[in-house]
């Protein structure tokens, strides 16, 4: 048995405000107020995002690697994403919740895209969905928006098709590549996306594109000119350890603290220092005497039954 965390737990809390909506995000862009977005994949991390005052929580398909142990984002399924998104929903009140449509859940047709977008809203309680790339994804985005579900776009480095881009590398480093990113971003904007993620794009390229963007742009490795920033929860807190992308700034080393805590527990278990008297339950002496007597009776009954 464990204690369920509360969404507002935390020693330091951001000022409380109302629910973040699409009009609020548009207002923040117009006012030049930076938008803070993080990924989160479960109830505890959602509670942390809530307490910290995050504006948008993305249940990213990066959960495939950070939570589920896959080698890439490609294998994660809609079923897995829905479970994670629903868990986040239970930990959030204020941030806008966005579900990331996984690879294979929207490419086939507009009908498939709309159906799975609706599942994120109906089954997981998401406020919006996200999809990657331009091209046919623009048509999918337009169809989903028309069906009543807000859509966030994603251009630049798109992890679902990273192999086609030469791996997890910065995009837009040539004139042709930068132009494609701009074209995709503008097409997604025209399709009705309420916001677009720019990932792993040279800061100078982002600065050139931003004047044409009428919707909020959230950057991840795209420089400071965007309307907001997003980082993966496990990267910014150092949950997994190991190498992190160039654009990540670790704000904590949670893995180190977790390993130290579990190692201390293991040592105390093996030396019988844990549990101590303060961690155990008591019983009234008379009740203990009755228990002892009953156990003696049970032993005798068993002895007679088996003939020992």
- The label of the residue with tokens 């929903």 reads 89
Mean pLDDT score of the chain: 91
SS3 per-residue string spanning the chain = CCCCCCCCCCCCCCCCCCCCCHHHHHHHHHHCCCEEEEECCCHHHHHHHHHHCCCEEEECCCHHHHCCCCCCCCCCCHHHHHHHHHHHHCCCCCCEEEEECCCCCCCCCHHHHHHHHHHHHHHHCCCEEECCCCCHHHHHHHHHHHCCCCEEEEEECCHHHHHHHCCCCCCCCCHHHHHHHHHHHHHHHHCCCCEEEEECCCHHHHHHHHHHCCCCEEEECCCCCCCEEEECHHHHCCCCCCCCCCCCCCCCCHHHHHHHHHHHHHHHHHCCCCCCHHHCCCCCHHHHHHHHHHHHHHHHHHHHHHCC
pLDDT in tens, 188-217: 999 999 999 999 999 999 999 999 999 999
d(C-alpha 39, C-alpha 30), whole Å: 24
Any idea which residues carry the catalytic annotation?
199
Instruction: Indicate the annotated binding residues for 3-methyl-2-oxobutanoate.
Output: 61-62, 100, 130
Question: Per-residue pLDDT averaged across 117-144, rounded?
Answer: 96
- Is the pLDDT score of 168 beyond 90? no
pLDDT bin (cut points 50, 70, 90) of residue 10 is very low
pLDDT in tens, 143-154: 999 999 999 999
pLDDT in tens, 265-304: 999 999 999 999 999 999 999 999 999 999 999 999 998 8
pLDDT in tens, 18-38: 899 999 999 999 999 999 999
pLDDT at 245: 77
pLDDT bin (cut points 50, 70, 90) of residue 169 is confident
Instruction: Indicate the annotated binding residues for Mg(2+).
Output: 61, 100, 132
**What pTM, to 2 d.p., does this model score?**
0.88
Give the contacts of 113 (CB within 8 A, at least 6 positions apart): 101, 105, 106, 107, 131, 140, 143, 144
Q: Which domains does the chain have, with CATH numbers?
A: 22-255 (3.20.20.60)
């Amino acid at each position: 048995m464990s204690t369920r965390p509360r969404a507002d737990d935390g020693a330091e809390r951001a000022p409380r405000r109302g629910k973040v909506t699409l009009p609020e995000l548009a207002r923040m862009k117009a006012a030049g107020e930076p938008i803070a977005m993080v990924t989160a994949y479960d109830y505890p991390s959602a509670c942390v995002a809530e307490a910290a005052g995050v504006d948008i929580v993305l249940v990213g398909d990066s959960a495939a690697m950070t939570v589920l142990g896959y080698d890439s984002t490609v294998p994660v399924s809609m079923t897995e994403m829905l479970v994670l998104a629903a868990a986040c929903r239970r930990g959030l009140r204020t941030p806008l919740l966005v579900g990331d449509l996984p690879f294979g859940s929207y490419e086939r047709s507009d009908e498939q895209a709309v159906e799975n977008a609706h599942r994120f809203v109906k089954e997981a309680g998401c406020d919006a969905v996200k999809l990657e790339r331009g091209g046919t994804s623009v048509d999918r985005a337009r169809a989903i928006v028309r069906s009543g579900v807000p859509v966030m776009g994603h251009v630049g480095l798109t992890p679902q098709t990273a192999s086609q881009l030469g791996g997890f590398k910065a995009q837009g480093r040539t004139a042709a590549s930068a132009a494609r990113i701009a074209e995709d971003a503008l097409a997604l904007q025209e399709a009705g996306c309420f916001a677009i993620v720019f990932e792993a794009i040279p800061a100078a390229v982002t600065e050139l594109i931003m004047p044409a963007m009428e919707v909020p742009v959230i950057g991840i490795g795209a420089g400071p000119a965007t309307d907001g920033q997003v980082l993966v929860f496990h990267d910014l807190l150092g949950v997994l350890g190991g190498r992190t992308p160039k654009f990540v700034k670790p704000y904590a080393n949670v893995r180190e603290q977790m390993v130290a805590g579990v190692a201390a527990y293991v040592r105390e278990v093996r030396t019988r220092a844990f549990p101590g008297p303060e961690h155990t339950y008591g019983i009234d002496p008379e009740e203990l005497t009755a228990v002892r007597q009953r156990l003696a009776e049970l032993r005798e009954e068993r002895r007679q039954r088996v003939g020992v």
